[in-house]
Structure 1
Amino acid sequence: MFSALRDVFRLPDLKSKILFVLGILFVFRLGAHIPTPGVDAKAMASLFEQGGVLGLFDLFAGGALRRFSIFALGVTPYINASIVMQLLAVVVPAIEKMQKEGEEGRRKITQYTRVLAILFATIQAVGMVLWLKSMNIIYVSGVSVLVAVITLVAGSIAVMWLGEMISDHGIGNGISLLIFAGIVVRVPESVVRTFVLLRAGEMNFLTLIIAGVIMIVVIAGCIILQEGQRRLPVRYAKRVIGNKIYGGQSTFIPLRVNSAGVIPIIFASSVLLFPTTIARFFSASFAQTISKVLSPSSPIYMILYVLLIIFFTYFYTAVVFNPIEVANNLKKYGGFIPGIRPGRPTADYIERVLSRVTLGGAIFLAVIALLPSLLTQMLGITTFYFGGTAVLIVVGVALETVQQIEAQLLMRHYEGLVRRKGKAGGILRL
């Protein structure tokens, strides 16, 4: 493991990518601590102590919302824009055509997503400033309101740009890594706060042990969910071309239990945050009512959260995996699934199996997302920060990034981070 980590920094291009990502994350965390002028910090802190959906909003902002910094909106506008564009691709033929145009089409969709993200950022910034102004938390008026809105929108654009820079010039998914950094940076604070509560007698040692066991179980479940797959056997018929024989091999099609990764969690959370943002354009009492109804601890929120996770799991799986295309490729190269006719029957069979596997993964994803929050509420742990959403994002992004680094190492004939050959020639998991 340590030799593999040493190999990472032996490769100049891989080393530069990792250092570039760390530099971008440093800039992101720096911006999260630059406050927007005119904010009453104490009133803002007391607002977040009340709990509710703001805590989840702050999760995606990496703590910037709690400070109401220039990066207070975080990546939420960009995520909302991505959701809308992907939904439009299903119903608008022109956008669907762009997706099939290769790199040029993707650039157009990315440009439209950016414009839509700026629109969402403007709506959220105006709603947030007016809402906080009505609660006497932010002291701005006249031109100052416009300056505050422009500052928040500019900060959101900067975060979007930082995420794209990581994706283009670094390693891993930029937006996911920014969310990952915002969650991980709060872990030391939560650990210190937990031990303070333990010493003060507000939390007993047994509760801490139970919470630790829950955390380990959920992390293990997240890893199993991310790595689990159903393998469909595939055989290739022998073909004689000239004097050579091709085919006759056996392989498999890996159908992942969770093909969508952490995207359903992020999308579902962002969708549930949007009504609260819109409500801030109205009276403070109406906004508080919506926030209470859509609080992460409310039954309505949990039901909607589960349904949206299942929906986005199926939706994103359909986006990234096309059974018809896979079946056509198998037929083109002489491959077939034993007992299934090539062509349309193969596509129907793959789709049927994928639907069942995805349902299990979606339900498991929803359970893991809700279980820690439910159990910590039952245990009465109010200040110990631990949620299934955060754990799923951290584990998913970490696994995805490690796999990309491992692929870079294996491509250059280095030993990977995750696997190592044993003396008997087998593969051992670390």
Structure 2
Amino acid sequence: MPVLFPGRRVGNRMSMPVRSNLPLMVNMAGMIPLIFAQTILSFPALVASYFLNSKVEWWANFNNGVYNFFSGTNAFYPILYFLMVVGFTFFYTDVLFTQQNYGDNLKKQGAQIPGVVRGGPTQKYLTKVQRRITFPGAFFLGFVAVLPYILKLFLPLSQSTLFVISAAGLLIVVGVVRDTFTIIETELKVHGYDESIIKG
């Protein structure tokens, strides 16, 4: 997002306005939506598991149905999981973005987004842009969340294997690999290796 910082007076001269960029993240929420969705979906199954052997037949049947629905073996579970991850991604991104309060912070620095009034309107504009950017990120996170269940349709995977290749695990592995490559690239640059050699 382009941001224009006002020029500063140095002696008798006024410096030119400085153009900069405000970075907006595609997935500002990180792994938190996955954790929220997984926790909320697993809680009913956990509670129901304590009443599966109840002596009251209708109560035992009810809890058995709840347990089967929320234990991950039901066909509707991945759909519900996907929707909850997408929903929580938008919700948590809004919470984080509101806390940052970019509108007031930019106003205090005298900065302005070209064509947008400073203060409240800037915050509203940035929130609108952030939601648009979050849209593909939220759907990708939802896809990663249900990827183990999609793989189960095509591959003979057991429930324990699904647990091993969970969405959170995949994201952690990808994050660690990405950070490792970044560290290696930084070390190579520090030791004077040419950028074309590093990337190519």
Indicate the structure whose relative CO is greater, using CA pairs within 8 Å and at least 6 residues apart: 2
Q: Given the superposition, is the C-alpha separation of residues 428 and 306 from structure 1 closer, same or farther in structure 2, using an over 3 Å criterion? A: same
State the match for 1:342 in structure 2. Answer: 118
Query: What are the within-5 Å matches in structure 2 for residues 272-311 of structure 1?
Result: 272-284=41-53, 285-286=60-61, 287-311=63-87
State the match for 1:368 in structure 2. Answer: 144
State the match for 1:331 in structure 2. Answer: 107
Distance 1:426 1:331 in 2: 41
Distance 1:357 1:425 in 2: 30
Distance 1:319 1:428 in 2: 39
Q: SS where residue 254 of structure 1 aligns?
A: coil
Distance 2:199 2:103 in 1: 32
Q: Given the superposition, is the C-alpha separation of residues 377 and 387 from structure 1 closer, same or farther in structure 2, using an over 3 Å criterion? A: farther
Distance 1:300 1:331 in 2: 47
Distance 2:45 2:13 in 1: 66
* Aligned residues of 1:371 and 1:388 also touching (Cα < 8 A): yes
Give 5+ residue unaligned stretches, structure 2: 54-59
TM-score when normalising by structure 2:
0.76
Q: SS where residue 322 of structure 1 aligns?
A: helix
Distance 1:357 1:311 in 2: 14
Deviates most, 329-338 or 385-394? 385-394
Distance 2:106 2:119 in 1: 8
Q: Does 1:386 align with 2:165?
A: yes
Give 5+ residue unaligned stretches, structure 1: 1-231, 407-415
Distance 2:64 2:199 in 1: 49
* 1:317 Cα offset (Å): 1.3
Q: SS where residue 71 of structure 2 aligns?
A: coil
Please, what is the CA RMSD of the aligned residues?
Answer: 3.1
Deviates most, 279-288 or 416-425? 416-425
Distance 1:303 1:266 in 2: 16
Q: Given the superposition, is the C-alpha separation of residues 297 and 280 from structure 1 closer, same or farther in structure 2, using an over 3 Å criterion? A: closer
How many residues of Structure 1 are paired with residues of Structure 2 in the alignment? 186
* Aligned residues of 2:148 and 2:167 also touching (Cα < 8 A): yes
* Aligned residues of 1:294 and 1:300 also touching (Cα < 8 A): no
Residue of 213, 222, 238 corresponding to 2:7 = 238
Deviates most, 294-303 or 353-362? 294-303
Q: Given the superposition, is the C-alpha separation of residues 429 and 249 from structure 1 closer, same or farther in structure 2, using an over 3 Å criterion? A: farther
Deviates most, 253-262 or 383-392? 383-392
Distance 1:392 1:425 in 2: 28
Distance 2:32 2:40 in 1: 12
Identity of aligned residues (%): 35
